[in-house]
Amino acid sequence: MYAVIKTGGKQYRVTTGEKIKVEQIPADVGSEITIDQVLMVGEGESVKIGTPVVSGATVKASVVSHGRHDKIKIFKMRRRKHYQKHQGHRQNYTELRIEAISA
């Protein structure tokens, strides 16, 4: 069984037992959260598509860790104008383990 969930403005295809990194969620490590924004649930040939979410469907996940992604470098330059700007960014994330999908 798999599901497509929406969290942090992004969509993820998840299955039971899978680990995913999502935008930071304010939850303690080891706590269990419930994601109710389930856009699609599929099992074999049967697929339920929500409008926009599947009613009654939830995904239970536990928080494994919090961290920061690798640094990305931003470089802006205007030629012949003597303008250069260097910048870096590290995005925070929360790693989740999908425990159960209920449709």
Q: What is the pLDDT of residues 25-59, one digit of tens each?
A: 999 999 999 999 999 999 989 999 999 999 999 99
pLDDT at residue 95 greater than cutoff 90: yes
pLDDT at residue 89 greater than cutoff 90: yes
Residues 69-85, mean pLDDT to the nearest whole number: 98
Beta-carbon contacts of residue 30 (< 8 Å; ≥ 6 apart): 62, 63
**pLDDT bracket for residue 103 (50, 70, 90):** confident
Answer for the pair 8, 20: CB distance below 8 angstroms, yes or no. no
Residue 85: what pLDDT?
Answer: 98
